[in-house]
Amino acid sequence: MRVLITGASGFAGSHLADYLVAQGTPRLEIWGCDRGLGTPWNYPDGLHHVVVDLRDGEAIRRLIQRVRPDQIYHLAAQASVGESWARPWETLESNLRTQLNLLEAVLTEKLTPRILIAGSMEEYGLVRPEDLPLNEHQPFRPDSPYSVSKIGQDMLGLQYFLSRQLPIIRVRPFNHIGPRQSARFVAPAFASQIAAIEAGGQPPVMKVGNLAARRDFTDVRDMVQAYALALEHGAPGEVYNLGSGRSRSIQELLDTLLGLARCSISVETDPARLRPSDNPDVVCDARKFQALTGWAPQVPFERSLSDLLDYERHTRRVN
């Protein structure tokens, strides 16, 4: 069986590639594509790596023709909410065009692979305390260009299931953390600053944004296992929330990382790190998916952050 991962050099994509390769199943032939911007350790032995720009419809058609996948994990996307404020049109165009090209290429080649579309908890946008925990029936209230782009991907997946009968399963993952995540996100932003301070690369002052916000964090290694279970057992046309069911404050995340630091660090608020809109609390209701698969996160929050900080320390040493 041939498996294709788009965005294979990305945060979740690289961990998914590691997970699938580690299964050691001889029947799996695993392919990964990206734009060639990833780092070498993102590509495990056993992954067939292809450089392709998914915004190029003809290039993705040639890839699908070559691989002829039985399963596709579509993870390629512009994934930063903050960047979507700075580049709204590029975010919308990139996230919708790449998925549209992929689905059209599959139809052109007359294939019917099971396809996982990775949406986001950001689709729910602004939420009220009485909405928590968020289940799959929560109305969309998009509050960023990124939110709109992920709703578009989600609904495009549903449309191609309903109108073209493609076996598409949609997931809405909540915040996931761990090694390899971009410093555009809060946990690695903190961890990279700690690593820099420890190495003498910056003064012992941590720049932070809103510490009161609470988010539902899951280790990326648990999340990609959920992706695999969703593609294997999910019902085409259905959508599943993926998360831990518990929220933690950004203050708790920061305090945990500071507790792992090897030196004393002070904290200062940086207005540039504050978002135009920010939910005070977000909690996932993943009972639908858990009832289907029995999945539950296994990696403790503290280990996720410890592994992330060690990764940032290692990255500074090798660079």
* pLDDT band, very low/low/confident/very high, at 316 (cuts 50, 70, 90): confident
Q: pTM to 2 decimals? A: 0.96
Q: Which CATH number fits domain 2-176+218-242: 3.40.630.30, 2.60.120.1030, 3.30.2350.10, 3.40.50.720?
A: 3.40.50.720
Q: Is the pLDDT of residue 273 over 80?
A: no
Q: Is 299 helix (H, G, I), strand (E, B) or coil?
A: coil
Of 183-197, 225-239, 264-278, 302-316, the range with the lowest mean pLDDT is: 264-278
Q: What pLDDT, on the 0 to 100 scale, is given for residue 39? A: 63
Q: What pLDDT, on the 0 to 100 scale, is given for residue 218? A: 98
Q: Is the pLDDT of residue 40 over 60?
A: no
Which of 178, 209, 204, 154 is closest to 307 using CA atoms? Answer: 178
How many whole angstroms separate alpha carbon 296 and alpha carbon 21? 21
Whole-number mean pLDDT of the chain?
94
Percent of the chain with pLDDT over 70: 97
Distances (CA, A) of 174 to 104, 135, 152, 316: 28, 11, 17, 28
List the domain boundaries for the chain. 2-176+218-242, 179-215+247-281+299-318
Its CATH architecture, for the domain 179-215+247-281+299-318, is Alpha-Beta Complex (3.90)
Whether the CB-CB separation of 139 and 207 falls below 8 Å is answered with no
